[in-house]
Chain A
Amino acid sequence: MSEKAFEAITGGLQTTVQDLGRPGYLSIGMPIAGAQDPFSLRIGNLLVGNEPGKSFPVIGSPGEAGLAILLLGPTLKVLCSTVVAVTGGDLSCKLNDKPFPLWTAVRVSEGDVISFGRPLAGAGAYLCVAGGIQVPPFLGSRSTFIRGSVGGIEGRALTKGDILKIGIPKLPLEESVGRTLKPNLIPQYTKKWNIRVVLGPQDYLFTEESIKLFITYEWEFSSMSDRMGCRLIGPKLNFKPRPDYLVDQAGSDPSNIVDDPAPMGGIQVPGGLEPIVLGVEGPSMGGYAKIATVITPDISRIGQMKAGDLVKFQAVTVDQAADILRKTEEILGEHSIIKMTETK
């Protein structure tokens, strides 16, 4: 059963239906897709009483779908009484022209209007609704993969006139209203970021000076960034000399390798210029050397960066990364949610 919940008055810059994506099909080149900031989507779902799901690489539990809203959000007319939480970046969300409290489950009623304005912090907001956005799942996920024209609303972004349906809420609406994330757990989005990476898999192809430069330089986040990948502006990185057969087989550029798997978060450096952090819709393989790979708990932070932000990379070991992941996952539970005593 599903109920009409929203009508799009405007679609926004790029608003897509996303859950945590569809891992399991990388070997046919199908990207994971899903939320670029899975942390915010999972918290949003928790707040409204939805199944939050489990992030990549866990298969088969993408959680409920919400709206992933990029920089300039849509205007939505509410068509029924329900509960909504907006998490992630502060994109000046308003309910009937009054500020909409972020990271909190809020009651909305038929005739209300949810709108967005100027992006103030972060790049992406997530609108979660009790019962989840209902679109036909594709390969077990409702995530939109625009280039492949699948998932979400007919494989595309939200546009004027679209009607969004929702499923049956798991929690009674009265119980979820006022649920909010503990204030100390709310991510702070600034213009300077520290991102943790594991060096490799092709760090050995770069000169030692370039690896050092990579982790000490403050890179500028480029406007040439999307769900496929994000570019970084900074100095040229150099490669060690390579054998002739690779020139012939992999390509004449020193960054070329015989194609190997391209992980989400992998940082490839075509021509040694403008490293690209591979995104949720990135290619599943590629022929460029990857100097480092962003660890999964920090993928959400990449999803909140915008043009002009500065980013510094910190190398960690795989064991350290596992500990960081464990700690991040611990946050994503009921114990992180409190009920506000007074709500409006």
Chain B
Amino acid sequence: MIYKEPVFRPAGNVYVMVEYGDELNLSLNFRVTALNKAIKKTALAGVTETEPTHRSLGIVYNPLAVSYKELVDELKHLDKQLGELKELPSRILTIPIWYNDPWSQECARAHDAPNNMEFIAELNNITVEKVIEVHSGMLHWVGTVGFTPGCYQASPINPSFVLTAPKYPRPRKWTPDRIICLAGHLTSAYPVSSPGGYQLIGRTPLDLYDPMQRASIFADSLVLTRVGDRHRYVPIKKKEYEAIRREVEEGRYEYQAEEDIFRLDSIITPGGTDRKESDVG
């Protein structure tokens, strides 16, 4: 659902969540981005940091500097002044993936789960090869960054076929780093080893988080991807994976990021509510 007016919800005494809706929808993500930019530009009193997500903006504030009510009034005012955001600067990042890699398979086995790629293929009534073809055949919009450093969630842009997968019924205790994963319609990743519940689809040789900021792509940030990026996933095999990984470790790899503009009206199906895939397992 897209709310008529943004809903403001306190989370404890130092957060306010500005919610534009409760669903996955790129138009909501654009509004979140617009408000986030406006807050940064205005430097709202008492606001210490912001966390954009698909459908809501988390705002962290110091309650000793501004009261909740004052802040919400300011935010309402700011929101009313927002023009319609039609386009955004958006990089296209190329991310190679070894789909159905041995680490993902081992991790699934260790948690008594079936091969995740075969599971997704069966659930979507296609072959594993077709899953790879579909997943790498479209661009993915990064709507939010977080969970662990460098983790993100990306939704398919104009998909010819929407892959869907349930989360693990019981979250895994661990997941190897650099694993790319899928749940619902969203692609995500485990930049560092961590617990998690998404289905494991492959591993990238690229660093998604580099606290040492060795490669030039990490010059401005410790993490590879940011909100508003589009991802292009490229299937690779063992040999290529190992070659790229070596280059990354030796600091020779050239990350591919293409500066571009993304227009909201280039989306054929902007919403999520009108999609009707029913069987999520």
Contacts and interface: CB of A to CB of B under 8 A. Distances in A.
Interface of A: 23-30, 56-59, 138-139, 147-150, 197-198, 200-201, 243-253, 256-261, 263-266, 270, 283-286, 290, 293-296, 318-319, 321-322, 325-326, 329
A284 B23 contact: no
B13 interface: yes
Given A295-B12, A325-B63, A24 B49 contact: yes
B221 interface: yes
Contact of A296 (B13, B53, B145): B13
Nearest to A30: B149
Interface of B: 1, 9-15, 17, 19, 22-24, 48-56, 58, 60-64, 67-68, 144-151, 153, 164, 166-167, 171, 183-185, 191-194, 209, 211, 221-223, 226-227, 272-273, 275, 277-278, 280-281
A23 B60 contact: yes
B13 A295 contact: yes
A15 B223 CA distance: 28
A276 B226 CA distance: 28
Given A201-B17, A258-B23, A261-B15, A286 B147 contact: yes
B223 A59 contact: no
Given A148-B149, A322-B64, A200 B9 contact: yes
A261 B17 contact: yes
Contacts of A252: 166, 280-281
Given A23-B49, A147-B192, A261-B53, A321 B13 contact: yes
13 contacts: A28-B223, A58-B62, A198-B12, A201-B9, A245-B273, A248-B184, A249-B184, A251-B280, A256-B167, A258-B23, A265-B12, A286-B147, A322-B64
Given A265-B12, A322-B63, A29 B184 contact: no
A236 to B, nearest CB: 16
Contacts of B147: 29, 259, 283-286
Interface core residue of A27, A294, A295 (most chain B CB under 10 Å): A27
A59 B48 contact: yes
Contacts of B146: 26-29, 261, 283-285
Given A27-B52, A251-B183, A56 B153 contact: no
A246 B272 CA distance: 9
A28 B53 contact: no
Given A28-B149, A258-B55, A259-B53, A322 B194 contact: no
A332 to B, nearest CB: 12
Contact of B145 (A23, A29, A258): A29
Nearest to B12: A293
Contacts of B67: 319, 322
Contact of B144 (A24, A58, A249, A285): A285
Nearest to B271: A245
Contact of A26 (B60, B150, B183, B275): B60
Given A200-B10, A247-B280, A296-B12, 5 more contacts: A26-B49, A29-B191, A56-B14, A249-B184, A259-B153
A263 B148 CA distance: 13
B149 A293 contact: no
